[in-house]
Structure 1
Amino acid sequence: MDHLYNQTNKLIQDSFQVLEKSSLVTQETEDEIQEKINLISSNCAKLELQVFKLPIDRRQNAKLRSDQLKYDCKHLQAALAAVKKKRERRKLAETEREQLLNRRFGPEQDLIAINMDHSIQHQTSLQSSNRGVDEMLFTGTNTLESLRSQRMTLKGAQRRIMDMANTLGLSNHTMRLIEKRVSEDKVVFVLGVVITLTVIVLIIIYFT
């Protein structure tokens, strides 16, 4: 199981490193990363089955490691989608620019050409602003999704800790400390969501 875990974790880390250089990512690279993501998902399913075959004292830690891999896989898929969208926008902008550069104007159309230049600049500025807002909204959505996933992970970890605490006979004082920490995490989560939504709304208002 450790070998499969290490192999899957390496696939995730290598894929993230490639996506960090998004300007160099091609269609072929995206397809290769998607194949790796499919393999990672398959490995996570295998690890999920192997967890229940382990001794009880090792099962809890193995389950947490398996959940972390699935969580990282979701983020990798979201990062790949963002890179794809960015590459498609860049390709579309290059095509539009090439079409405009290849368009010819006659001598009697100089005034039209000048007006076109102003219109093109205005359109380019609007497109840049629109892309910026879209990317910020996408980032905000991913952040909210990440916070939700972390919340679910923390809830699962809390239940497991409570079960372990009952088994090991932890003191009431320790249990209260754990519950207090969970409550603080909930407050941080809510504040994070509110701040993120506020920033997104302000950005939309600013650009519209």
Structure 2
Amino acid sequence: MNSLYQNLLRQSDTLAQLLDRADVDLTAPVSGQIETLLANLDRSLADYVDFSRTEPNLAKREKATLRSKRFADDIQLMKDRYARAQTRAAQRQTHGDERNELFQRTAPTSTTPTAPGAISISIGGAASSSATDYYAGESAALHRTESHLDDFLTAGRAALADLADQRHVLKRTHRRMLDAANTLGLSRSLIGAIERRGIQDTWVFVALVVVSVVAMWGMYAYFRG
């Protein structure tokens, strides 16, 4: 049973590394590896649960049950993190497509040269061309501002998602430390200190979320102004 537990740990660590890469750039190969690992983790956890039920030692069976529940929570957190990475990748692709379409629309079109001998009549042509250039410039500036705002908002959402992922990692580390402390028989005072540190980490996470929201609002107000 210990070998199954170690296998779950290795697969979980490998998946965490792939999710770190997915947060930066979710490519098709990385996505395929993540989905394969998630499926393998589900199967490995099912095998571990089935095997733990046959453990004759009551204490070991209870420990295995506790570990299996924690692994199930970790796997669900990783699935949620992968879903957020897919959403961010889709948003980046959508924004890229919109920018490309905007550039194609605002690209200057070639003019057909006037045939020799033809007479070109223009009424107020210079003023009309100047006004057209002015409005085209204003439109391009607005589009660039909107693009920057979209980029900042996307970066802000990614930062919030990363903070949430870090909180999940801290919670998982906290649970593992408590498990190790119980296994090694450490004193209750040390376990209490670990729990207090977990509460402090939670307040730090909340403070970071508030700062991120205020920063995004400030950038939005600055560019809108």
TM-score range, shorter chain: 0.5 to 0.7
The C-alpha deviation readout for 1:21-54, integer Å capped at 9, x for no partner, is: x8xxxxxx65x65554443432332233234336
Tell me the equivalent position of 2:148.
132
Tell me the equivalent position of 2:209.
193
Task: Select between 117-126 and 152-161 the one with higher mean Cα deviation.
Answer: 152-161
Tell me the equivalent position of 1:102.
109
Counterpart AA for 1:13: L
The alpha-carbon deviation at position 155 of structure 1 amounts to 4.4
Tell me the equivalent position of 1:16.
21
Name the CA distance, whole Å, in 1 between partners of 2:133 and 2:148: 22
Match for residue 200 of structure 2 among 167, 184, 199: 184
Tell me the equivalent position of 2:117.
none
Task: Select between 44-53 and 100-109 the one with higher mean Cα deviation.
Answer: 100-109
Change (3 A) 1:117 1:40: farther
Task: Select between 150-159 and 88-97 the one with higher mean Cα deviation.
Answer: 150-159
- Greater Cα radius of gyration, structure 1 or 2: 2
Name the CA distance, whole Å, in 1 between partners of 2:95 and 2:130: 26
The alpha-carbon deviation at position 174 of structure 1 amounts to 1.0
Aligned CA RMSD, in angstroms, stands at 4.3
2:97 matches 1:91: yes
TM-score (norm 2): 0.62
The C-alpha deviation readout for 1:78-101, integer Å capped at 9, x for no partner, is: 344333333333333333333442
Query: Unaligned regions of 5+ residues in structure 2, if any?
Result: 115-119
What is the percent sequence identity of the aligned residues?
19
Task: Select between 157-166 and 116-125 the one with higher mean Cα deviation.
Answer: 157-166
The alpha-carbon deviation at position 141 of structure 1 amounts to 2.7
TM-score (norm 1): 0.66
**How many pairs were matched up?**
200
